[in-house]
Structure formats: C-alpha cells, structure tokens
Structure 1
Amino acid sequence: ASVAMGFDYNPDFNGTQQEGAGLYQQTIKEGKRHSAAAAFLVPILQRRNLTITTGALVTRLLFEGTRTVGVEYLHEGMLHQVRVEREVILSAGAFDSPKLLMLSGIGDAAHLQTLGISVVVELPGVGQNLQDHIFSPVVYQATQDLHFASTSSIGEAGLFLHSKWNSAVAPDLQFLFGSIQLLPPSYAPAAFGFTGAVALTHLQNIGSVGLRTPDPKDTPMLRMNYLQNETDVKKLVEGIKLMRQLFHSNFFDEFRGAEIAPGAEVQSDEALVAYIRNNCSTVWHPVGTCKMGIDPMAVVDPELRVHGVEGLRVVDASIMPTITTGNTNAPTIMIGEKAADLIKAGRTARTVLSKSNVQNPAYSSI
C-alpha cells in the first residue's frame, strides 16, 4: 500500500537510507523473542565472577571524595554495601540513572540542596534533556483472524517518512503496523483487528527527571512535556490522515472492517487534535538524561565516564545526546557493546602502564 502511494520500498531501515516502507528487524531467535537478558546473561550464569541479585533497589553510590568506591542497595529488607576495585557501571535507564546520580550527590546543586542531599559534584545536566517517542493509534476491525504471532514485536512492518513541516535529512514520522489492537483505554476491542501506529521520531519539546524526596524508594518526578509544540500535534494529525489512506487502499479490502479508533465520526482537524491529546501514548523510548558530551550540560564524556568523578560510568540510553530516529532497542544494546570495548581497552592500557612501571621507575607517577 505504501509503495502504491509513492513511497520507496526499503529492505533495510539501517541501510543507506531510512525513508521508505519495509519490515522491521527484530530480536528473535529460534522462534522466540530474544531479550538482552536471554542473549547476554543466561549463557554466562555459571561464571564464578558473576553475581546477580534480583529484586534489589540501589539506594546510592558510595564515594571517597570524588572517587566511586561502591554501591549501597536494599534487598529483602536489609541494607547492603558492595565495594569495587575498579569502577561502577550504572545502567538503570533514562529515569533511574539520573535519579541514582542525584540521590548520590551528583546533579544540579540547588536542586540537591533543597532536598538536603550533600553535593559531591555539581553537574546541572543530570536529569535534563529527556526525550522520547510518542504515538497515536489508528485501529480497525478485521474481517478475519489475522493470526498474530507471539514471536512478533507487535510492529511487524513500517514506514519512515517526512512530514511537510520537516526540512531535516532524518524522517520525523514513523509508522508501525501490527495485527493486534493497540487501543486507548476508552475504546472497546473487536474480535479481530489491526493497528497502524503514527509515531513522532523527534519531538520539539524536551523534558526532565527530578527527585520528589531524598527517599530512594520514592519514584522520580518526570516532566515529559509532550505536545507542547503545536507543530508536533499537526504532524500527528497529518499522520493519522495518511494512515487512513493506506488502510482504505485496495490492499486492505480483504481484511478491513470498521474503524474503531479514532472512529469514522472523528474527521475534522479539531476532532483529531482532541483525540491525539486525549489518547497519545509513549513508545517507551526515553533517552538523554545523562547525555554524553563535553559541553556544560553533559553528564558523561565520550567514554561514558561521569564528569568530575572517578570510577563511574553510565551505560544505557540516558547517554544519548539526541534520540534516534526510530526504535531505541538496538542502539541501546550497541551502547553496551561499545562500553564493554572501552572498559576492556582502558584495562589493557593500565596493564601496559603497570608493566612499564616495573621496568622503568621513572613512570611511577603515571
């Protein structure tokens, strides 16, 4: 349907160009969804130098001066501390990584001091620069069972495109199609159905993460600032109209029933805007709150080490300075792989220096 409407067929969204329609690459192995835990942790569970504790809440990082020396965590009602010889790797995501840094005294000094938290290092960028993707669903009844596969990542096929407001190289709209009903809570599902999700890849508004209290058990305060820019709303309106055109092409005649959401009666721009503001949802792609860089608002350096302290890196989607134009799962796994290379390279360099120390006392100050 997309190609018939003039869009390019794209066999690889990660190839030479991103725009166009095609099938999404997915993390599936031997017919099952393959999570990062299944791929990276399960094969090495028996390693003697690996200890996994689940159901634990990290409460703070431990410092001696500005050097990270360990982690404190709550497990089964007991408070524990673990000391490290080399460094701590923080991978708690775009919400909890900045939360833990702030609880530990790393962040905007004024914000921390109002909560009675002692400042270890002032980094005003901690918790700022929050970015995400949002979507509005277009859902139709299906005239037959479309046999949704449990191995699917829900969005099986998709389309990247430019809205008429976008002059950048990267697409600002992403469509996802799946043979399930991604309905807002106020809509009743049909026996069978399918969904076209209209997502924004680059929102104009930036949010933030802050602390409500100094209690680690309290959830962080999230300000997403969705849809504060009218152009973002207009892009979603345009996307819904285009999705409807796709679904009303003859390629869907065999499967298409009545429109469930927004609903056939929702036609005017004003009605579509109301639908979007009442029913848009996150795609669960939060990034950016511990961004990498060398500017005053950067939290980690190009090797993911937290500015101003020793022995601490952040390795998760929070280090992205700008959100990716599309799903964040594979890029976040890539961040982990790259960080592993950086950590190993640093240890190799230290080993070489240590050997030099033995051979030449003049290097003892390094």
Structure 2
Amino acid sequence: MTSATHQDDAEFHARAAANQSRLTAALKPTYDFIVCGAGASGSVVAARLAENPDVQVLLVEAGGSDAVEAVLDPAQWPANLGSERDWGFAAEPNPHLNGRALSMSMGKVLGGGSSVNVMLWARGHRNDWDYFASEAGDSGWGYDTVLDLYRRIENWQGAPDPQYRGDSGPVWVQPSADASPVAHAMLDAAAELGIPTFDSPNGRMMEGPGGAAITDVLVRDGRRNSLFRAYVRPVLDRPNLTVLTDTLVRRVVLDGNRATGVEIIHGGEPKTIKATGEVIVSLGAIQTPKLLMHSGIGDREELERAGIPVVHHLPGVGQNFQDHVSFGCTWEYKDPIAPRNGGSEATLYWKSRPDLDAPDLLFCQVEFPVPSERTAALGVPEHGWTMFAGLAQPKSRGRLRLRDANPLSPLRIDTNMLSDPEDVRAAARCVELCRELGNSRAFSPFVKREVMPGNLSGGAMSDYIRDAAVTYWHQTGTAKMGRDALSVVDASLKVYGIEGLRVADGSIMPRVTTGNTQAPCAIIGERAAELIRLAHHL
C-alpha cells in the first residue's frame, strides 16, 4: 500500500467514524428499512439498499467492532471462539453422540461469521442451487442465475477465468497464498486415489462429482476481508446508512399481520424503532427463529408452552436444523510445519457411494490438531495436522425450542446429529477415506505416524464417529424457503402470513449447501436486496 493510499484510507476512516458517531447519537424514530444483523447476509442487504441515497437504512448488530487483531489477522481466528465475539451457544446433550453436548459458536461482531470463520470461499454445488430453485418454485435461485451473481460480486485475484469468475465486484477472493507443502500433498494424495484436482474449488469442480483444490479465501493484503468489510465499511460515510452496534433486537413489532419496526435494547435501555418499508432479519440460523418466536411467529404449541401470544402459526420456525458435522482424523508431523494463512488451505469434496450424482463428503485439511473434547484423551501430538472431514449433505434434522418467554433466555438447541443411520454409514466411509488420504505416499515425506483413529470397524468405528463428531459451525435451515407446511419464507424470502418482514441468512436454506456457508450467505443477501428493491421500485 502506498503512502498516498494509506493517507486516503485514514482520511476516509476518520470521516466515516465521525459520520457514524453523528448518526448513532441521533437515532431516528423511523427508517425505511431495518436490517437486523451485520453478518454475511445482513451486511450485503444493508449496503445494497443504501446505494439509493433516498433510502434510510438502519443496520443493527448485537456485537461490537471488528477492528481487533484476532479478527483481522487470519492466523488468529481460533482466538475468537469463546470470546466476546462469539454467541457461545451450546447444544443439548445428544444421545447419538454418546451423550455429548457440542458448542455452537456463532459470530457476534460486525461481519458476524465472516469475521470469525476460517475465511474460506465455497460457492456450493450446482445441485444445491437447483434444489433451492425447485423447493422455492423460482428459477431465480437456480445455479445459472447464482453463477452470474457470483461473477458480479467477486473481485477474483487468481488466474483469469471469465466463464466462472468476476474481477470487478466488492468481494476480494484469492487462492490461499503460498500454500503449505502439506496442502499440496493433499492434492497429490487425492490424485493417487483417482480423485480429480482443480485450480480452484469454485467453478467446474462443483458441477460434477467433486474433486480437490487449494482453497479460495477472503484475505486481502494478508488481512481478513470479511463481508462487512467488503460491502459496508466502504460506505460508512453515507448519511443514509446507520450502523448501530452493541444492540440486541428483542422482537419484531407487529401491527396485526404487518411488521412495523423492532424493539431493541441499546445502552441497557429498551427502545422501539419503526420501519416504513420492511424489517429484514439476518441474525443467523439460531437467533433468527428465536426472534421470530419471541415476536409471536412460530409453532402454536411451542409458543403457547412458552407463554408467548400467538400472532401467526408457522410450524416450521426452528425446525429443519442442519449443520455440517466433522470427524477429525489426526497425523503427527515428522518435523514441525507451521500453519500458513488461516491454517486450512486444501479442500476436497467426494462421494460416500459411487451411485451419487454429487459429493456428500466435505474435507478441509487443517494444519494443526483439532480433536473433540473426548478424542483429545487419545493423545494429541504437539505438531500435527487434521483431516477435518465430515458430512456435506447430512440427513439428520434437529430443532430449536424456547425455554420461556424471556427474549434474553438462550434457546434449547437439539441438533439431533447422527440420528439418521444413513449419516453414520456415510461417516464411516468418510473416516476410511481420510485414512486412505493421510496414509498415502504423498504424505509420507511429512508424516511420522497416524495418531487417530487407526484401523477401526463395526462398533469401534461407530463409537469413534460419535465421540469425534464436532460442528463446522455451519448452522442452517431453521426458517427454510419453500412451499410445504414447514416452510417459513417464500421464494422472495417473505415470511409467510406477515407483511413487511423478510429473512435473509443461512436459516432460509432448504438444505445446507455443499461446503462452507459464507459465500452462499452472500448470495442470499444479494438476492434479498434485489427482491426488496424490485418490490419497492428502488
């Protein structure tokens, strides 16, 4: 960065900070649009709506600033887990995980998950988007439309590929820089097993049976470039965009069946702010259904049990919970190799059965040990790496339930992971493939020994899977888009039965996408903004 560029950036930052201080010190009683949540989808929605200077947008975030080193330094992402930038949710004990209760981290900071994740950019498979379109009854969610959106939003820094990549959008995407030799060993191991390798995981690789590639990441000049930083930070000097941090949205205010605003807690005080246009809920797959239920929108029996007056019976709210689940397999290095970038530079998607037409297994190589709290007892090497691999298309479904009528009470999260026997069978094949990869010739120059799981079968394999299972933190599906009885939003992301209320985040996914979820959440934000602008002639 040149000194002139640095000076321009400093001047902009000072101007933007002064603008936001003025705007938040004099909050308006009414805005045109209120976006709840400044995460991977909400940041996109707010920035796109604010492109119209005649539209007043309020973006509300429960967390605080992202201008901290643990967020901006790609190598420090694990330091965010369990910090004040993490909601710190915990699931209920799960009998299918041998009674274990998993932590459910979620970003609570400007940028949401895109500020605390591993920065991977994974678009999802062609079949995912075509399935979305089928469920919604709208070709606008199909792969061809979504591919065009990806080309428009990406500022791709790799080899030019105009068929699949764009180079002038807001989202800076680059291949992992100077990837570790063990990342390249992952690709060589895949090739040994007959799995094709690609220059990028985004493009042809996700139109067929899968493959392996060096990861694409949201890192710019060695720093995390979250979706908040890509979309919102460059426009914080606009007078029509107010970003309100450290503010909890307690409920959506409803007048009959119309959303008219939100109740918030800001500075410890409750306050109601009105919206003349719409309220857009982008709080993620745990907080979004929670907000809907506390607003009286949800399953009648569930709301009545918690003592919440029913405004609209919508039984799918909080149901259809999904998450990618991983079963870490670990190897010890012959000689220490320090992690590079965010420590995850190679990815692989493949099939648990040859008859499948798309990958159902997801492999993210992690360049340090990642055991579960239970498999850690097997012994973790000081220097090692993990095949962080699991189910890309789990069949199991969980549910979120209220504890009581208090909006500050956490939800009861029943993930129900591995409840479907088909998931256990796929998990066993996943672990077997991990071992084939990690024990291949390609890794022999780097690996001293396999630490876990070793050669297991039958009940021993099942126990390992249930003890090793951890989450990818890809919670999705709890306010799903569709046309059946459990659908919460329609193809336009409007909440069924309520006017002026949309959901735009990972909760609307009918099923979790194949891969990391921040890129699909950006698409959900783009689609939402497009649909809102069309509806309001903006």
| TM, length-normalised to structure 1 | 0.89
2:309 maps to 118
Q: What is the CA–CA distance in structure 2 between the aligned matches of 1:250 and 1:113, rounded to whole Å?
A: 60
CA contact (8 A) 2:201 2:347 kept: no
2:527 maps to 338
The number of residue pairs the alignment matches comes to 344
Q: What is the CA–CA distance in structure 1 between the aligned matches of 2:436 and 2:510, rounded to whole Å?
A: 35
Segments of structure 1 that go 5 or more residues without pairing to the other structure are 352-366
Q: What is the CA–CA distance in structure 1 between the aligned matches of 2:288 and 2:432, rounded to whole Å?
A: 38
- Displacement of 1:304 in angstroms is 0.7
Q: What is the CA–CA distance in structure 2 between the aligned matches of 1:173 and 1:137, rounded to whole Å?
A: 13
1:171 maps to 359
- Out of 517, 525, 529, the residue aligned to residue 328 of structure 1 is 517
After alignment, is 242-251 or 324-333 more displaced? 242-251
2:413 maps to 222
1:308 maps to 497
- Displacement of 1:122 in angstroms is 1.2
1:357 maps to none
1:364 maps to none
Q: What is the CA–CA distance in structure 2 between the aligned matches of 1:142 and 1:95, rounded to whole Å?
A: 38
CA contact (8 A) 1:198 1:236 kept: no
1:362 maps to none
Residue 472 of structure 2 is aligned to residue 283 of structure 1: yes
The one-letter code of the counterpart of 2:367 is S
1:180-205 C-alpha deviation (Å, 9 max, x unpaired): 21122342543321111121011121
Q: 1:26-37, aligned counterparts within 5 Å?
A: 26-37=217-228
CA contact (8 A) 1:179 1:194 kept: yes
2:239 maps to 48
After alignment, is 312-321 or 240-249 more displaced? 240-249
Q: What is the CA–CA distance in structure 2 between the aligned matches of 1:234 and 1:307, rounded to whole Å?
A: 37
2:274 maps to 83
CA contact (8 A) 1:161 1:174 kept: yes
- Displacement of 1:148 in angstroms is 1.0
The one-letter code of the counterpart of 1:157 is A
The one-letter code of the counterpart of 1:297 is L
CA contact (8 A) 1:183 1:261 kept: no
Query: RMSD value over aligned CA atoms?
Result: 1.7
The one-letter code of the counterpart of 2:501 is L
- Displacement of 1:162 in angstroms is 1.0
- Displacement of 1:147 in angstroms is 2.4
CA contact (8 A) 1:170 1:325 kept: no
1:261 maps to 452
Q: 1:1-366, aligned counterparts within 5 Å?
A: 1-18=189-206, 19-149=210-340, 151-152=341-342, 154-164=343-353, 167-186=355-374, 187=376, 188-262=379-453, 264=454, 267-348=456-537
Q: What is the CA–CA distance in structure 2 between the aligned matches of 1:269 and 1:259, rounded to whole Å?
A: 20
Q: What is the CA–CA distance in structure 2 between the aligned matches of 1:194 and 1:304, rounded to whole Å?
A: 41
The one-letter code of the counterpart of 1:46 is D
CA contact (8 A) 1:183 1:189 kept: yes
Segments of structure 2 that go 5 or more residues without pairing to the other structure are 1-188
Structure 1 runs of 4+ aligned residues shifted over 3 Å read: none
- Displacement of 1:28 in angstroms is 1.5
Q: What is the CA–CA distance in structure 1 between the aligned matches of 2:485 and 2:372, rounded to whole Å?
A: 40
- Displacement of 1:17 in angstroms is 4.0
| TM, length-normalised to structure 2 | 0.62
SS of the equivalent of 2:241 reads: coil
CA contact (8 A) 1:208 1:223 kept: yes
SS of the equivalent of 1:52 reads: strand
Q: What is the CA–CA distance in structure 1 between the aligned matches of 2:232 and 2:514, rounded to whole Å?
A: 28
1:165-224 C-alpha deviation (Å, 9 max, x unpaired): x63322111111121211223425433211111210111211111211110111111111
The one-letter code of the counterpart of 2:443 is F
Q: What is the CA–CA distance in structure 2 between the aligned matches of 1:279 and 1:162, rounded to whole Å?
A: 21
SS of the equivalent of 2:492 reads: coil
- Displacement of 1:75 in angstroms is 2.4
2:38 maps to none
SS of the equivalent of 2:423 reads: helix
The one-letter code of the counterpart of 2:489 is V
1:38-97 C-alpha deviation (Å, 9 max, x unpaired): 212221222222222222221111011111111001123211111111111100111110
1:363 maps to none
The one-letter code of the counterpart of 1:119 is V
SS of the equivalent of 1:171 reads: coil
The one-letter code of the counterpart of 1:9 is T
**Percent identity between the two aligned chains:** 38
- Displacement of 1:16 in angstroms is 3.0
2:153 maps to none
SS of the equivalent of 2:530 reads: helix
CA contact (8 A) 2:320 2:478 kept: yes
Alpha-carbon spacing, 1:340–1:171, altered in 2? closer, same or farther (3 Å): same
Q: What is the CA–CA distance in structure 2 between the aligned matches of 1:239 and 1:291, rounded to whole Å?
A: 28
- Displacement of 1:321 in angstroms is 1.0
The one-letter code of the counterpart of 2:361 is L
Q: What is the CA–CA distance in structure 1 between the aligned matches of 2:396 and 2:242, rounded to whole Å?
A: 40
SS of the equivalent of 1:74 reads: strand
SS of the equivalent of 1:235 reads: helix
Q: What is the CA–CA distance in structure 1 between the aligned matches of 2:306 and 2:195, rounded to whole Å?
A: 53
CA contact (8 A) 1:237 1:269 kept: no
